[in-house]
Structure 1
Amino acid sequence: MKIIKEEVAFNKNSSIKIFSPRLKHYFYWHYHPEIELVYVEAESGISHVGKNISTFEGSELILIGGNVPHLNFDYRMETTYHQVVVQFKNDFIPNTIAATPEFGSINHLMERAYMGLRFYGNTKTSVGKLLKDIKTENTYLSLIEIMNILQLLSVSSEVETLNTEDTRVKFYLNDKIRMGTIYNYIHEKYDKKPDVNELAERVHLSTPAFCRYFKKQTNLTFTAFVNQYRISQARTMLLHQHKISDTCFAVGFESLSYFNQVFKRITGESPSSFQKKHQKKY
């Protein structure tokens, strides 16, 4: 469960790799030198790229730079989902994109990818559809389609930078704590009472040292991270029309008013507004 270097294998006749991984039963905290574009459709999920941790609903579209650690986007998903991943050979960027003036905006996009880029709005909708419909049988046509997608992304203003600093793997290689231990503990305890002292003991740190470590790794306090996880689970329950009060207690909150407060802070809307907005979709 420690950070893993993924060895990406490409077809000898292709500069890109397009596939749909299914790893929901695995904690895959990993990195690779190749730049990666990920599109996932799901009722809700967790995104962890570099230090940025957030939840998403409906879909997520992210461009991840080389050697940026990230968690598989289908981790612990218990509902139906669809995922498309595109990876680019390392020499493709300098030899083809950077060397071609017409690809200037795409090259700039790739240079920014090390911070993690999330796309939203119409960009996410249109690119997601293109990625879902892409045909991989003809490598030439699929490459042309991917280049068109990159051009759309490169000129889009519907983009958010995920990290405020360089989070490439050099930041994590000397880390002796395994993030998998933390995620597994929270998944096991989120609906009960996760105890930071107990978790600190599991990873062989004092509580103050663990809290400093955790904040450095994620830019979140332990409590904030647990609440992110709980709200992700709550979203799924609310999408399936569970009562708000039942959902509140099922994901570990002891106060309905506090649940409403945390839900709105994380999602930007109240649980009732969220459920009403989605009640016709599911």
Structure 2
Amino acid sequence: MREFMSNPNIEKTLTNKQTFIFKDLVGPYFNPNWHFHPEFQISIIAEGKGTRFVGDHVQSFEKGDLVITGPNLPHLWRSDDAYFEKDSDLTTRGLVIYFDNELLSESLLEKEEFYNINKLVENSVRGMEFYGETRQKVNQLMPEIAEERGFSRIMKLLEILDILANSEEYNLLASPGYVNVFKGDDAEKMQIVYDYVMDNFKTKISLEEIASLLNMTPTSFCRYFKPRANKTFTRFVNEIRIGHARKLLLEDNFNISQISYECGFNALSNFNRQFKSIVKMSPHEFRKLFLNIKTSIS
């Protein structure tokens, strides 16, 4: 049964009687709030696209996206602006599993048979994005959990975990040094920052304005932001801009110069430099690579 996200600010967690829960979430947009929780989370994007934040990692997402996040790893799947427009008829759908770490106890993970599962658990603290055949298999299996009952549901979850644990088709997301340092009202403050940047990255970002929203000076804001995001504010803004640029490069509707200005860069040279720093290839190389992939698939 699908659950309509009528109030996307509320996220339910496990009760003491539940080992895991499966949710089929349908709504006009994904939960727009930066958050974390004590459960592991496996997420599939069945419909929708936007920008994914996991720890200090920023990347675009689209249909089929498969990610596992470990306990207390901050994350956010933010739908594109088009999903928030008043007259939008767009919808999103996410298949999500939350499971308790008691399912994979420390004593169990020490057993020889659980070596790969233990490696999966260790890697999940940074978040893992899966691709290729692994993504296809899990995309097929996840909906089947809704039809299972009792211990059969556990077996289906273990089957999915086994596929993920034995896969080499993944990318680690948050950086090795990332640590969740959020306390008290940090999540609320960082949400203000994220919302501001997502609303304004196509134009000049005002450090003074964002700092004032948190009742800070620009200097104190920069000191506050860096240890919580594990990067400078400038780097964060550039990653958002480059993430949007990657989407536009794949759509092939604009030339690279147009994309540069559309993403908030005033100079093409700076755009090229920042793109290569973040993506490890030039915008031209990125577009050519994915056009070749698209051609070979078709």
Q: Which runs of 5+ in 1 are unaligned?
A: none
**Does residue 203 of structure 1 match 2:208?**
no
Please show how residues 136-155 of structure 1 align to structure 2 within 5 Å.
136-139=146-149, 140-155=151-166
**Does residue 270 of structure 1 match 2:282?**
yes
Contact 1:38 / 1:63 at 8 angstroms: preserved in 2? yes
| Secondary structure in 2 matching 1:178 | helix
Shift in CA distance, 241/75, structure 1 to aligned 2, threshold 3 Å:
same
- Which residue in 2 is equivalent to 1:242? 253
Contact 1:43 / 1:239 at 8 angstroms: preserved in 2? no
Inter-partner Cα distance in structure 2 for 1:85 and 1:204: 36
TM-score of the pair, normalised by structure 2: 0.75
Inter-partner Cα distance in structure 2 for 1:153 and 1:240: 30
- Which residue in 2 is equivalent to 1:218? 229
| Secondary structure in 2 matching 1:36 | strand
Deviation for aligned residue 1:45: 3.6
| Secondary structure in 2 matching 1:30 | coil
Inter-partner Cα distance in structure 2 for 1:150 and 1:97: 14
Contact 1:6 / 1:31 at 8 angstroms: preserved in 2? no
Please, which of 220, 229, 237 is the counterpart of residue 240 of structure 2? 229
**Does residue 183 of structure 1 match 2:194?**
yes
Contact 2:22 / 2:95 at 8 angstroms: preserved in 1? yes
Contact 2:32 / 2:78 at 8 angstroms: preserved in 1? no
Deviation for aligned residue 1:178: 0.9
Contact 1:97 / 1:104 at 8 angstroms: preserved in 2? no
- Which residue in 2 is equivalent to 1:134? 144
Shift in CA distance, 125/268, structure 1 to aligned 2, threshold 3 Å:
farther
Please, which of 20, 23, 27 is the counterpart of residue 24 of structure 2? 20
| Secondary structure in 1 matching 2:59 | strand
More displaced, 185-194 or 248-257?
Answer: 248-257
Deviation for aligned residue 1:53: 2.0
Letter of the 1:184 counterpart: D
Work out the percentage of aligned pairs sharing the same amino acid. 29
Contact 2:49 / 2:80 at 8 angstroms: preserved in 1? no
Shift in CA distance, 77/273, structure 1 to aligned 2, threshold 3 Å:
farther
Inter-partner Cα distance in structure 1 for 2:258 and 2:123: 43
Letter of the 2:240 counterpart: Y
More displaced, 29-38 or 121-130?
Answer: 121-130
Contact 1:35 / 1:64 at 8 angstroms: preserved in 2? yes
Aligned Cα RMSD in Å? Answer: 3.4
Q: Which runs of 5+ in 2 are unaligned?
A: 1-8, 84-89
TM-score of the pair, normalised by structure 1: 0.79
